[in-house]
Amino acid sequence: MITYKSTRGGTETKNSAQAIIQGIAANKGLFVPDSMPKLAMKLEDMKDMTYQEIAFLVLAGFLSDYTSEELKACIDEAYDEKFEAKEIAPVVKAGGAYFLELYHGRTAAFKDMALSILPHLLTTALKKEKEDKKIVILTATSGDTGKAALSGFANVKNTEIIVFYPSEGVSQVQEKQMTSQEGVNTHVYAIKGNFDDAQTAVKKIFADASFAQELLAKGYKLSSANSINIGRLVPQIAYFIYAYAKLIQRGAIKAGEPINVVVPTGNFGNILAAYYAKLIGLPVHRFICASNKNKILTDFINTGIYDARRDFYVTNSPSMDILISSNLERLLYHLSGNQGTEVQGLMEALEKNHHYEASDQIKDGLKEFYGGFADEKATNEAIGELYQSDHYLMDTHTAVAYSVYKSYREASGDQTVSVIASTASAYKFANSVAPAIGLGHEDDEFAYIEKIHEKTGVQIPSGLKNLKDKEVRHRGVIEKDQLLQAVRDSLRSRH
């Protein structure tokens, strides 16, 4: 059975159910598997399998304390008609690459792929572990995780979900999606700060032992829906395996032939899932890590130096406006040869000095990655060019990935078949997408949505169609040092 331990060392071990419930290790590290499973089937034998069948193979390997019946029930509940594409994650050829469309769930962003199943994994874990405490899901979001988590956990028994988002750092559509969320157990707050402020404050709450005791006395226990939770990360591995199987099916590659994986990322979770896919058997030649103007990951991959002492930019790809990339900690652990003490030292240096330099061993491991970035001009140009040439519509985050992919291919000459993670519907960032495809100015994002639809005919996700008219249910705006009190207030209102 695979067990989970902390990236920062120590003797704590958990089975997967316990790790999912707890969210983060006692020493503030992230849970990682003590060994990597291997895929139970050959990739060529998966080519005709459904998304649900491939998800089961992946989850069964990592969540080995769950029974087959438990996993199948979770998967069937998660990946059903709430996804508007029957395939769940279609693979579409455009611009010389293959776009893995991960945005056909309820909230029109890739976070649905994992956050549709996490509530079921968690509630199953609670039963397995005979947990009698109510779970409080605490989440910081740069836009999409918040809505997907709220949607997944709304009205789920024995849970409360509290989401914090930067008041000036999300799109109008993202904000309305969160503030209009229904559900008796949902709580949403805008914070006067950026995503890093929210994420840092949430991590601080998780590390507060006295607050944990205060909550336990009231019958509550904290957990997370961010990708720091292993139950959020593992389901993401499945779609990279699925994409490869579909490429075999259509004859784009032969089994065993390596591909490149291109991922737009700020918090490093989605590209880490691709890295885990390689560790369990996916043939990957290069991981192409695409950043926006906040290019801290680009610089780290190219130098081995992580330096957060820099300006923070608000861009038109807001879900990537991040300077502290939480999931990078897991990569550091694996590349260091599982040296928890070394990782703890790096994380302490980051917390204290906002800066660290990785060891030569880690730097050597980073050679599997290519780091590139696209500013807003390049992002907009990529949207316009691909729509004009292929009539393929991208959102701003996917456009960052496509722009970096083109730069990589031009610089390297590498013609390896490439899969680009398409992470959101273009309609979620309509005010940026519309001008990029030649549309004029409108008064708000919702008007841009209509104009894009008129021009392109691309279906508007059902979750966005009547969003403008939905009632705002959450109006809290707090300072960045008031998150702890907001948690207390949210739970007090439930008594």
Identify the pLDDT of residue 144: 87
Q: Does residue 414 sit within a domain? A: yes
Identify the pLDDT of residue 194: 94
Identify the pLDDT of residue 253: 98
pLDDT digits over 354-377, tens only? 999 999 999 999 999 999 999 999
Domain limits at 298? 91-105+231-458
| Range 43-59 average pLDDT | 98
Q: Does residue 157 sit within a domain? A: no
Q: Does residue 375 sit within a domain? A: yes
pLDDT digits over 29-38, tens only? 999 999 999 9
Q: Does residue 221 sit within a domain? A: no
Percent of the chain with pLDDT over 70: 100
| Range 26-30 average pLDDT | 95
| Range 395-414 average pLDDT | 98
Q: Does residue 226 sit within a domain? A: no
pLDDT digits over 304-353, tens only? 999 999 999 999 999 999 999 999 999 999 999 999 999 999 999 999 99
Q: Does residue 191 sit within a domain? A: no
Identify the pLDDT of residue 142: 86
Confidence band for 495, pLDDT divided at 50, 70 and 90: low
- What average pLDDT does the chain have? 96
Identify the pLDDT of residue 48: 98
| Range 46-55 average pLDDT | 98
- pTM to 2 decimals? 0.96
CATH number at residue 362: 3.40.50.1100
Identify the pLDDT of residue 105: 97
Identify the pLDDT of residue 358: 98
pLDDT digits over 220-256, tens only? 999 999 889 999 999 999 999 999 999 999 999 999 9
pLDDT digits over 162-176, tens only? 999 999 889 999 999
| Range 85-107 average pLDDT | 98
| Range 202-217 average pLDDT | 94
Q: What's the domain count of the chain?
A: 1
pLDDT digits over 78-95, tens only? 999 999 999 999 999 999
Q: Does residue 204 sit within a domain? A: no
Over 60: is that where the pLDDT of 50 sits? Answer: yes
Q: Distance between CA 418 and CA 262 in Å, rounded?
A: 7
Over 80: is that where the pLDDT of 99 sits? Answer: yes
Percent of the chain with pLDDT over 90: 97
